[in-house]
Amino acid sequence: MADEFSAAFRRPFPEQIAAFRLRLGDLVPTQRWDDLENRMHDRAFMVAGAMKTDLLQELGEAVDRVVAEGVGFEEFKRDFLDIAARNGWSGWTGQGTKAGEHWRARVIYRTNLATTYAAGRMAQLRAKGFPYWIYFHGGSIEPRLQHLSWDGLVLPSDHPFWNTHAPPNGWGCSCYIVGARSKRAALRLGGDPSKVLPDDWQSIDPRTGVPVGLDRGWDYPPGGSVSDAVSAYAQKLQELPARPAVTLIQDWLDGSAFRSWFRDPDGFWPVARVTRRDAFLLGVNRPVVFLSPVTLSKQLRRHPEVTFEEYRQLASVISNASERIFDGDRSLIYVLNDPNRRGYVLVVKAVRNADEIFVTSYRRLPADDSKLASELRRLRNKGS
């Protein structure tokens, strides 16, 4: 029988591809499906039980073909089993029986399609500024009663309902959101503006720890924390070569998308990766480094001489640093001191409770030899 779910999500669009490729910038080894929670999935790719980077990279490329090229389930399943065998991956849940292997490949396939579709649509809804959003049931043959009760619900886009109930709301859920300019428009689109949320819509199910009607781990809006970056990267995709983005952090810094963000920053922008060793020493799992609007504004005030083109070199400063200096247990200073090129000091800091790394300072090294020597001594003393 045809997979009605995959049929609904076989029309890749730029924001959906961008949402998935943003995840590919951070390949996270995990033991269990819930090692990453909620919005962490917006910026990282994982497959439960996959602990090797090479294995994750190949799995990521296989899923990228699903999202970007519309590859069907049977082809993905063949790729999945081949990748697992070639990389010597054994002991994964479902291995050993045809039914189990089919189930595991299907979970990966459907979950990535559903969450990237939702993340891409979320970016579109926010970019277009729809004041009302409509919840539509996906038409499952065996519907969840709570999801069915929300079918046609029309709420303002800033209603707290969407912070927890933006679909998909669980494993296999195919519900979705449509935007509307007015309640009258919502009615024309099939929504029901008269439908009212029950008073207990936020009641927590004691078995799952999340609101009734949601599966554990699904009480967040997929892609909600990266909508601005997804929209910007969707534009950038037109300029990029047709290949997976596993190693394309630098592409986020090249071209018009980063330039637009730099002029009017909103949301965090991924600018570099540290090594897994550095991430471990900083106490975080995710090696991607983000630049925030607040830090960019502060740095441009303090160091106005540092140009946009130099900010595009942030990834290069880390990868080519001549010295790495730990300043305390959460900050790392990268010093690029090359006589053949301009030198820089880049400071990053880990936020452990958020499991993320952020730029905190970026400046040029002094050109004068005596001032350079003094600055290097000062920096080295920080790490002593």
Domain ranges of the chain: 4-188, 248-382
Q: What is the pLDDT of residue 273?
A: 82
**Confidence class for position 122, pLDDT limits 50, 70, 90:** very high
Helix, coil or strand: residue 356: strand
d(CA 117, CA 122): 9
pLDDT average, residue stretch 369-373: 89
Residue 87 scores a pLDDT above 70: yes
The dihedral sign for the CA sequence 269, 49, 94, 143: negative
CB-CB neighbours of 325 under 10 Å = 19
Query: pLDDT tens, 234-279?
Result: 776 655 544 444 445 666 676 666 787 888 887 788 888 888 788 8
How would you classify residue 355: left for phi > 0, otherwise alpha for psi between -120 and 50, otherwise beta? Answer: left
**What pLDDT is stored for residue 90 in this prediction?**
93
The first and second tokens of residue 39, run together, are: 């919005």
- Chain segment 312-367, per-residue pLDDT in tens: 899 889 988 999 998 877 899 999 998 877 899 999 999 876 678 999 999 999 98
- Please give the pLDDT value at position 348: 94
Please state whether beta strands 153-156 and 269-273 pair in parallel, antiparallel, or not at all (unpaired).
unpaired
What contacts 366, CB < 8 A, 6 or more positions away? 372, 374, 375
Q: What is the pLDDT of residue 71?
A: 85
Query: Is the peptide bond preceding residue 168 cis, with omega within 30 degrees of 0?
Result: yes
Tokens read off for 224: 């909600």
Q: Given CA atoms 154, 123, 263, 358 in this order, what sign does their dihedral have?
A: positive
Only one residue has tokens 């890749």, namely: 12
For the segment 282-308, what is each residue's pLDDT rounded down to a tens digit? 888 778 888 988 899 999 999 999 999
Q: Where are the beta strands (DSSP E) in 278-343?
A: 288-291, 323-327, 331-336
CB atoms within 10 A of CB 339: 5
User: What is the arithmetic mean of pLDDT over 190-197?
Assistant: 95
pLDDT on residue 252: 63
